[in-house]
Structure 1
Amino acid sequence: MEVPTTVTMLDIAGNIADKPTYMAVQINGQQYPEKHQPKGLFAKVITYTPFEHGLLKIDRDQLTFCDEKGQPFKTVTTSELTQVELGMYHAMVRVPGPVIPMRAQYTVTLQLTTTSGHYNLLISAPNVVPVLVDWLAAQKVTYTDPLGLAKVGADFDWEKITEAQFGRWSKGTPYEKFFQTIGSERVM
């Protein structure tokens, strides 16, 4: 992904084939990231997300793409996948606080190429990595993993990636480049 890159903000169904798109992933009855239900008006205001997100539902060998309203608009099977790449981008996001108003954010990218198109899905839940790796293995889908994320394993605390770890993983890959995000951190 080159900087600056436009990501899908509206009309996910109409834009997903052309732009990277933030998606949640639902697999084995679990959603990544988990749905966040703020309590109270103040919590709703501070967790407001200024952009829309879709949903990728994975059910064995079937992938269903849903738009920002949760409506399915495309279904593909694993047999239609011609290329899959698992990666991760590193950026900094602003956070409330008096001392250091920035923190690292790691966004998983799942790039799917099918016989009918290419989809660059952005997932803001690094803990989805071992689940995706397990699913890809169970479906016998060949994929590229430039960062070697599959080797890190499910026992790793994916919510506590350090910049030094990410630097080792990304060295010499296209993901080594630092990326910038504009806007708020995604909260579901």
Structure 2
Amino acid sequence: MPKLMPVAVTNIAANIADRPAYMTFVIANQKYSTARKRTPFILKALSEGAAAHGRVTITTNRVSLADEYGHVFQTLAPLPDVITAVQLGLMRSKTREIGPRRQTKARYTLTVALVTPRATYRCLNTELSVLPALLTWVHDYHLTLVDPLGLANSSFDLPHLTNAQFETLTRDTPYFAWCQTIGSQLN
């Protein structure tokens, strides 16, 4: 049975400190996201893209977090005393492909936690090609990187990660388990 991973599917601004949320990353005007503008009902039923996506915009002097409607709810300076750590992780979940055989495939999701003295903002992104740009930003601003899987130094082509490579990276860690993202209702 997969490990259940509650995620904020709505009201990202109020819930991101308690539950991770899918976030589009924009770094140096490059957008990293697999979010759909509108998700057809059949894909929601298959748990593919049903969650709302917020946005993390990283510019030269600020990090802005916006909710699913584009309203900025937090702005941070990219300084080591403001963002005390950037934590990376990787999880996998199963998605069903549309078709007569109902095949499943693995979906890999990068977890990025922006740790501040007041809150931790946990972001999820399925566009693994964001990692090099994110690592460059962390390095350029001398932020503390917490990378228990060694993603920063991995020789694997993360956007084309295979299940065997994922298992090599995550063996004997909490990231090894299959996850199922579920919407969470928070009061």
Cα separation, 1, equivalents of 2:124 and 2:25: 10
- 1:186 matched residue in structure 2: none
Number of residues of Structure 1 aligned to a counterpart in Structure 2: 176
Shift of 1:180: 1.7
Counterpart Cα distance in 1 of 2:3 and 2:84: 26
C-alpha distance in structure 1 between counterparts of 2:181 and 2:5, whole Å: 10
- Aligned residue type for 1:9: V
Structure 1 residue ranges (4+ consecutive) displaced by more than 3 angstroms after TM superposition: 34-38, 43-49
Mapping of 1:142-161 within 5 angstroms?
142-152=144-154, 157-161=157-161
| 1:27 partnered with 2:35 | no
Percent of paired sites with the same residue: 35
Structure 2 Cα separation of the partners of residues 18 and 37 of structure 1:
25
* Aligned equivalents of 2:94, 2:36: Cα separation in 1: 21
Match of 2:114 among 102, 112, 115: 112
Instruction: Tell me the amino acid that sits aligned with residue 32 of structure 1.
Output: Y
- More displaced stretch, 45-54 vs 60-69: 45-54
Uncovered stretches (5+) of structure 1, i.e. residues with no partner: 184-188
Q: Residue 89 of structure 1 is aligned with which of 73, 88, 91?
A: 91
Three-state SS of the structure 1 residue aligned to 2:131 is: helix
Structure 2 distance, partners of 1:160, 1:109, is: 17
Structure 2 residue ranges without an equivalent (≥5): none
Q: Deviation at 1:52? A: 1.0
Cα offset for 1:157? 3.8
The residue identity in structure 2 corresponding to 1:179 is C
Matches within 5 A, 1:1-188: 3-33=3-33, 49-79=49-79, 80-99=82-101, 101-152=103-154, 157-182=157-182
Measure how far apart 1:82 and its partner are.
1.5
Confirm or deny: 8 A CA contact 1:85 1:145 kept in the other structure.
Answer: yes
Pairwise CA RMSD of aligned residues? Answer: 2.4
Q: Contact conserved, 2:54 with 2:68, CA < 8 A, in 1?
A: yes
Displacement of 1:16: 1.0
Deviations 1:88-117 (A, max 9, x none): 101111111233520010000001110110
Higher mean C-alpha displacement, 101-110 vs 133-142: 133-142
Normalising by structure 1, report the TM-score.
0.83
Deviation by residue 1:100-157 (Cα, 9 ceiling, x = unmatched): 520010000001110110111111111111111111111111211111111126xx54
